[in-house]
Structure 1
Amino acid sequence: MFEQAPIYARLVEEQGDVPAQVRQEAERIEDDLRRTMQPLRNLSEHAARQGRPPTHLMP
């Protein structure tokens, strides 16, 4: 869609493909967040299987 718009092609030439860069950065952040949150998710699921509240989430 955008590739056919001359103004978009000009902006990409001048500024780079900003939407693609943003998308790539968002994917990297999502991957980092997934890796960071996985241990917490595992603890919560383990506590739920044992019928205990996830105390590590309580204030």
Structure 2
Amino acid sequence: MFQDSPIYDRLVAECGDVPTQVRREAERVTRELEVVLRSPHAPGHLPGTDRPPSPGAGWQRTALLPGPRPA
């Protein structure tokens, strides 16, 4: 990825190859999520739940606008 880059080589020597580690971890998490989502025990696959869960049910992440937080 960073051929002939002495700065990158030095950072890797000092800190490890962080981008590669992050990429591997992201791939591992993605594989685990795929397994969980295909699992018959995943939410929504329980006996008696023929209808899909309603959107907005449960916890959802919401964005905060920049600036001071409301009181």
Which ranges in structure 1 are unaligned for 5 or more consecutive residues?
44-53
Percent identical across equivalent pairs? 45
Q: How far has the Cα of 1:57 moved from its partner?
A: 2.5
Report the TM-score when normalising by structure 2.
0.56
Aligned length: 47
**CA RMSD after TM alignment:** 1.9
More helix by share: 1
Q: Point out which structure has higher relative CO (alpha carbons under 8 A, 6+ apart).
A: 1
Report the TM-score when normalising by structure 1.
0.66
Which ranges in structure 2 are unaligned for 5 or more consecutive residues?
58-71
Q: Distance in 2 between matches of 1:56 and 1:13?
A: 50
